[in-house]
Amino acid sequence: MKVLVTGGAGFIGSHIVDKLIELGHKVTIIDNLTSTSGKKPEYLNPKAKFILGDVKDLNLLQKVLPETEVIFHEAASVGIAQSNYEVDPFVDNNCVGTARLLQAIINLKIKPKLIISASNTTYGEGLYSCEKHGKFHPEIRTQEEINTYGFDPVCPICKGISKPVPTPEETELNCNSIYAYTKKFQEETCLFLGKLYEFPVVLLKYFNVFGPRQSLSNPYTGVSAIFMSRVKNGNNPLVYEDGNQTRDFVSIHDVVEANILAMKKLEANYKVFNVGSGIPTTINDLAREICTLYKKDLKIETTNKFRKGDIRHCISDTTRIKEIGWSPKVGISEGLREIYEWAKNQEAVDHFDKANEELKEKGLI
């Protein structure tokens, strides 16, 4: 099949490209190389047709899209905290870029299958359960609430202790950042227009994706890459709150398999799927495991500071995607070992302290 991957030179997109080429598909990439500092990455698959361009370029899209059978839309600005003070570029790239892609599909009167890199961030906090009052979906935490009850959300009725439980796809969306709002726009607009114009759309709500090719020099990428960069440079991992907040880490290899399934399965059309491991990992445990990999006697620096908009817990319920044949294969330890081996020969410039100061300056910490 003829396949377009927007953002195909980036972390997730490039891995999807590799798998598509391996399966014998004819692949075109559109990427402006922003995520790779304007340089064509060495890992880029030479068997794919590469076009240096922007997904916001309607004329370019209308030249590339005819005869395209499947589109993987991975092009996006990524960074939850950063999006809250760089509103314009995030809305421009994520919302306008998606709108132009949809406009091109409508203008050309074509019906490609569109697979969207959706996000768990649109849920905000995940679901929780109180022993007395059952499940609830908390609002985004405030500093006042944290001062009163601690970092973990409490039951809205009895103010008692609650515990996180798996979050299914039908959970109400409760965005916690501009990035999340742009992904919500992306998800809802694509699904609406797909149904309206009868081109199939699949939404894959990625949880915390990690793996090789994730930038080690971008302080706004995933926390695993940020910690890897700090530890590689001999710097202590710095942890917000008390470090007991959890994330649901899913390997890039499992994410690629979810995308391929979404492409192949007719029963995936017009549906939303969580793509996560379903296993919570504390940020403290993540930091400890990375320090162990590097055999460095570093101390985890716990700030006990709340970064505004951050969630405490969100664990994926993957029942729905398992029904179409997907399940995660790569565990957190195996995945971190793979990144560690890959990172040995990669540049890792630790910009975290600078990013942290920016957040303080903006009043977000």
Q: Is the pTM of this model over 0.85?
A: yes
* H-type alpha helices, the chain: 11-22, 58-64, 80-83, 87-90, 97-108, 143-149, 178-197, 223-232, 252-264, 283-293, 319-322, 332-343, 352-361
Average pLDDT over all residues of the chain: 96
Domains and CATH numbers, the chain: 2-126+167-361 (3.40.50.720)
pLDDT-derived band at 190 (thresholds 50, 70, 90) equals: very high
Q: Are 164 and 314 in contact (CB under 8 A)?
A: yes
Higher pLDDT, 38 or 273: 273
For 31, the 3-state DSSP assignment is strand
pLDDT at 342 over 90: yes
pLDDT attached to residue 38:
82
Question: Could you tell me which of 91, 74, 120, 75 has the C-alpha nearest to residue 178?
Answer: 91
pLDDT-derived band at 4 (thresholds 50, 70, 90) equals: very high
pLDDT digits (tens, 9 = 90+) for 74-89: 999 999 999 999 999 9
pLDDT attached to residue 296:
85
Task: Show Cβ contacts of residue 346 under 8 Å, excluding neighbours closer than 6 positions.
Answer: 216
pLDDT digits (tens, 9 = 90+) for 221-258: 789 999 999 999 999 999 999 999 999 999 999 999 99
pLDDT attached to residue 351:
79
